[in-house]
Structure 1
Amino acid sequence: MKAAVIRAPYRFNIEDHPVPQPGPGEVLIRIHAVGICGSDVHGMEADGGQRRQPGLIMGHESAGQIEAVGPNVTDWKAGDRVAIDPQLSCGYCYACERGWKNLCENGVTIGSSRKHLTHGAMREYITVPTRQIYKLPDNVSFDEGATLDFVGNAVHVLNRSNSKLGDTFVIIGTGAIGLIAVQLAKLRGAGKIIAVDTSDSKLALAARFGADRTINPIKEDAIAVIKEETGGYGADIVLEMVGLPATYDTAVRAAKMQGTVMALGFAADQVTIPIQPLLFSEVTIVGCTGFSFEGPTVLNMIADGRIDVKPLITHEFPLDQIESGFEVLLDKKADAIKVIIHP
């Protein structure tokens, strides 16, 4: 089979590898679609590139079709169309026993080398345990199925926010996750949604999805506009989807008294939080990572049209043009949101 193997930052070899064989409780999946995530880009740069090391087959946003099942697999069969949860959990640690598989103490993510090299889906075939797969509804394409991970992350963030009908949302970062968050905030009955990004094209899409006000902080004072739009108080819920010191600073300052900042963005090892507004406004910061039990909800909402992922898929490339996929993502003029690779 063909596999894209990292040899240097943004440089890949397309190599021939043996097709893996499914073990007990596993299935062999023919990958049809795999997305390039922002963490794939940052992972080659942050931490000295430790999250995406040379020798790794990356790719954690994927969907495909079962080709074969391993011993003891009875609930799945060849031909089933599936999306893959990339978070491999052990099932027995403190977190897993409580249903927090995204916090598994022994967990790893496919396509990452953060804990140890765990090959992902930028190849023609992959084997995974059956607990990692979800059946695709008939009207959900492989490309749409490959969005499970980042859509699941957005759903998880909104679930943890405990938002109420009429709450004001500020969403900082309108990449793939942020644009899903705009849709979800609308579905949750937000009183007002304010989107912040430096890309006018992404802000236009945020407005299409339901943002009432968009702010490009290069052109406007984001905090001043947010205060003006919220009667001088700030937002009930602020979603930080970027992960830089400047954007976390904005997030805390944008929250109202006893407001909540949902922290998902992760592009820098450390960020500085403005302590005065945090303390004197009693702002709550809630950490978020990955999704947990939301997989079926995500696919059902895509299937019935409540979540629209199609406009987010802006570019598609075959596996042997994977470097072009990264070039598009790195080119600010390309207006790329989600790049899908077809092995």
Structure 2
Amino acid sequence: MLKQLVAVAPHEAAILEYEDHPVGQNQIKVKVEYAAPKHGSELAEFRGVSPHTTEKYDPEWRTFLKRQENDTYEIHFGKWNLGNQWVGTVIEVGSEVTEYVIGERVCGYGGIRETHIVDAVDNPRLRKVPDSMSWKNALCFDPAQFALGGVRDSGLRAGDRVAVIGLGAIGQIAAQMAKVAGADYVAVVDPIQRRREAALRIGADEAFDPLQQDVGLELKKRTGKLGVDVVIETSANEQALQQSLRGLAYGGTIAYVGWARAFKGGLDLGREAHFNYGKVIFSRACSEPNPDYPRWDRHRIEDVAWDWLKTHRIDCEHIIDLVIPFAESAQGYCEYVDRHPEKSIKLGIAFC
């Protein structure tokens, strides 16, 4: 029997068996080689603290509303296949599929499991992975989109000074994209040493530890008291937002990319925020219409992010860290994603 990684209860994962359905005429079947979970919103679901458990975001009202008894909710412990993206080889092709052939390597969205059957006609979220492309880069397709959205929403311009706060996959990629976009100085901030070191290896100018340093003041010192023009905040931590406001230049912009939980205290908007005309832009690459619509939409963000990953303008070699065998994925997910995120940046799962 085929096997997949399943969330069986909050904070608990297991490898369980599943059966594949027949391949449809517009579908392909893929044997998975590598996969990765999502360390942000998926983790909130895994911990049972997501607002989606009791409410749902209504796109018509554009607000959260209480779930009704007949509302469907896609997260069911005991059935929920954990995971975000995968890379694998096509092993079966439906009769109407013309763009993919057996033996091709592809990347798509879905859980950590041995096979995937996916639509392969007019599916922009299914991508061919050329031989020259690193599988680690391919697995960063999703965070690269949100990093690109954050950089664009920040209004970053050539020559700007930038701070990226939170060095999970999105922050790591955003720091690189800021450099590509022409930032003159990129500082990175995270309490986890391995994440700071990874960001420095792939191009950041300077790294700060918020547990040991007054980050906002340090950013002011490094910029001749002016502060950074742009902050890209991906940690969704209230203390990080406070330091963002403290280190931001007068009239600067914070692109708030992280998916926040309810703040428990520590954010004081009567301090720097009240004096310095800072702007906070809440950035989410998949919310439509895009701020630059119709020139930009989710598909264009996807295309650009994939091209930069494919051509190695972005380097994810040190971002997919650690890599563990699929047989260890249940224990590894709980250990490296849920309980001890300081031991990993973005967890990789190897099937081969």
Q: In the alignment, residue 27 of structure 1 is paired with which amino acid?
A: I
TM-score normalised according to structure 1 size:
0.81
- Relative to structure 1, the CA distance from residue 22 to residue 251 in structure 2 (aligned partners, 3 Å threshold; closer, same or farther) is farther
| CA–CA separation in structure 1 for the residues paired with 2:327 and 2:52 | 22
Does the Cα contact within 8 Å between 1:251 and 1:261 map onto a contact in 2? yes
2:239 is paired with a residue of what secondary structure?
A: helix
Q: Which moved more, 1:26-35 or 1:285-294?
A: 285-294
TM-score normalised according to structure 2 size:
0.79
Cα distance, 1:14 vs structure 2: 2.1
Match of 2:305 in 1: 298
Match of 2:37 in 1: 36
Match of 1:61 in 2: 85
Cα distance, 1:267 vs structure 2: 4.3
Match of 2:111 in 1: 121
1:297 is paired with a residue of what secondary structure?
A: helix
| CA–CA separation in structure 2 for the residues paired with 1:332 and 1:321 | 16
Do structure 1's residue 165 and structure 2's residue 158 form an aligned pair? yes
Cα distance, 1:152 vs structure 2: 2.3
| CA–CA separation in structure 1 for the residues paired with 2:116 and 2:247 | 43
- Relative to structure 1, the CA distance from residue 150 to residue 12 in structure 2 (aligned partners, 3 Å threshold; closer, same or farther) is same
Deviant stretches of 4+, over 6 Å: none
- Relative to structure 1, the CA distance from residue 199 to residue 286 in structure 2 (aligned partners, 3 Å threshold; closer, same or farther) is same
Match of 1:98 in 2: none
Do structure 1's residue 312 and structure 2's residue 319 form an aligned pair? yes
Match of 2:291 in 1: none
Q: In the alignment, residue 282 of structure 1 is paired with which amino acid?
A: Y
2:269 corresponds, among 275, 282, 290, to 275
Q: How does 1:1-343 map to 2 (within 5 A)?
A: 1-39=2-40, 40-45=42-47, 46-47=49-50, 50=53, 53-54=76-77, 55-84=79-108, 86=109, 120-130=110-120, 131=123, 132-270=125-263, 274-276=268-270, 277-290=272-285, 292=298, 293-326=300-333, 327-330=335-338, 332=340, 335-343=343-351
Cα distance, 1:48 vs structure 2: 7.5
2:244 is paired with a residue of what secondary structure?
A: helix
- Relative to structure 1, the CA distance from residue 335 to residue 23 in structure 2 (aligned partners, 3 Å threshold; closer, same or farther) is same
1:34 is paired with a residue of what secondary structure?
A: strand
| CA–CA separation in structure 2 for the residues paired with 1:166 and 1:176 | 24
Does the Cα contact within 8 Å between 2:144 and 2:170 map onto a contact in 1? yes
Does the Cα contact within 8 Å between 1:83 and 1:136 map onto a contact in 2? yes
- Relative to structure 1, the CA distance from residue 168 to residue 52 in structure 2 (aligned partners, 3 Å threshold; closer, same or farther) is farther
Q: In the alignment, residue 15 of structure 1 is paired with which amino acid?
A: L
Q: In the alignment, residue 306 of structure 1 is paired with which amino acid?
A: R
2:344 is paired with a residue of what secondary structure?
A: coil
Q: In the alignment, residue 45 of structure 2 is paired with which amino acid?
A: G
| CA–CA separation in structure 2 for the residues paired with 1:5 and 1:33 | 16
Runs of 5+ in structure 1 lacking a partner? 87-119
| CA–CA separation in structure 2 for the residues paired with 1:182 and 1:300 | 17
1:210 is paired with a residue of what secondary structure?
A: coil
Cα distance, 1:4 vs structure 2: 1.6
**CA deviation profile, 1:63-113 (whole Å, cap 9, x unmatched):** 2222223353222222221122x4xxxxxxxxxxxxxxxxxxxxxxxxxxx
Q: In the alignment, residue 134 of structure 1 is paired with which amino acid?
A: R
Cα distance, 1:138 vs structure 2: 1.6
| CA–CA separation in structure 2 for the residues paired with 1:309 and 1:240 | 19
| CA–CA separation in structure 1 for the residues paired with 2:76 and 2:302 | 28
- Relative to structure 1, the CA distance from residue 197 to residue 186 in structure 2 (aligned partners, 3 Å threshold; closer, same or farther) is same
